[in-house]
């Protein structure tokens, strides 16, 4: 009798136990490719003086527009100052607040455009600064007047200020050009020391708190 009960209990336990787990195959997917920059987009520069909105047109200068998109989405310009404001000529920014970040991006030059310029360097347009062929990297400027001489020198506008030109006109311009032409920051020290150098010796330069793509 006892043996029969033990056999029955064993059978019941076998029937009530959970089935073994089924092994499932998990498919590994490659990371998604970064989104292609849109043909048209807007960037808002939130500065200590107020907001500046730039409309970017890829048809004007596709390589510049794509590179600017990458810089903004990677938050490169957050904390950058308008280090060269010469009125009425240009307002320039684009050296990272942190030197180690600037060192990485400063060698990521983009090739010159493969098409003729679509827009001219007129009041409110935006273009990358350069020192010669193939040297556009991170520094950008806003034209504070019509500058036809920059057209002849091959500066390609890729966008235009649509809001905040009143803010642009308020940017601190006393320092002007770098020495010896003016009293502005030394370019080599600026690249090497970043925000620490400007905060100590050029504290009145206006700053971009953050730069974002406008939804």
Asked if residue 44 lies in contact with residue 214, where contact means CB atoms within 8 angstroms, the answer is yes
Which tokens go with 110?
Answer: 């983009």
Residue 88 preceded by cis peptide, ω within 30: yes
Q: 95: burial class by Cβ within 10 Å (0-12, 13-18, 19+)?
A: buried
| pLDDT per residue as tens, the chain (215 positions) | 434 443 343 444 444 444 444 444 444 443 344 567 999 999 999 999 999 999 999 999 999 999 999 999 999 999 999 999 999 999 999 999 999 999 999 989 999 999 999 999 999 999 999 999 999 999 999 999 999 999 999 999 999 999 999 999 999 999 999 989 999 999 999 999 999 999 999 999 999 999 999 98
Bridge partners (DSSP) listed for residue 79: none
Whole-model pTM over 0.95: no
In contact, 45 and 54? CB cutoff 8 Å: yes
Residue 165's pLDDT is what? 98
User: Is the alpha carbon torsion for 115, 116, 121, 125 positive or negative?
Assistant: negative
Segment holding 50, helix H or strand E: strand 50-57
CB 136 within 8 A of CB 128: yes
Q: According to the model, what pLDDT value does residue 162 have?
A: 98
| Contact predicate 103/193, CB 8 Å | no
**Is-cis flag, bond preceding 89, omega within 30?**
no
Domains and CATH numbers, the chain: 37-213 (2.40.100.10)
- At 215 the pLDDT is 86
């Amino acid at each position: 009798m006892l043996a029969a009960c033990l056999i029955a209990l064993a059978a019941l336990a076998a029937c009530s136990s959970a089935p073994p787990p089924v092994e499932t195959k998990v498919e590994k997917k490659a990371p998604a490719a970064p989104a292609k920059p849109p043909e048209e987009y807007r960037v808002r520069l939130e500065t200590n003086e107020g907001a500046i909105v730039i409309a970017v047109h890829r048809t004007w200068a596709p390589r510049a527009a794509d590179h600017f998109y990458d810089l903004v989405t990677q938050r490169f310009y957050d904390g950058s100052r308008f280090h060269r404001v010469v009125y009425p000529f240009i307002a320039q920014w684009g050296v990272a607040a942190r030197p180690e970040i600037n060192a990485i991006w400063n060698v990521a030059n983009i090739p010159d455009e493969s098409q003729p310029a679509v827009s001219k360097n007129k009041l409110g347009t935006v273009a990358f600064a350069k020192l010669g062929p193939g040297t556009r990297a991170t520094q950008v400027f806003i034209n504070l007047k019509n500058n036809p001489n920059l057209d002849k020198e091959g500066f390609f506008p890729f966008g235009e200020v649509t809001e905040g030109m009143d803010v642009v006109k308020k940017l601190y311009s006393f320092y002007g050009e770098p020495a010896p032409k003016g009293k502005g920051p030394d370019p080599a020290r600026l690249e090497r020391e970043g925000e620490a150098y400007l905060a100590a010796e050029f504290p009145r330069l206006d700053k971009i708190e953050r730069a974002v793509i406008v939804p």
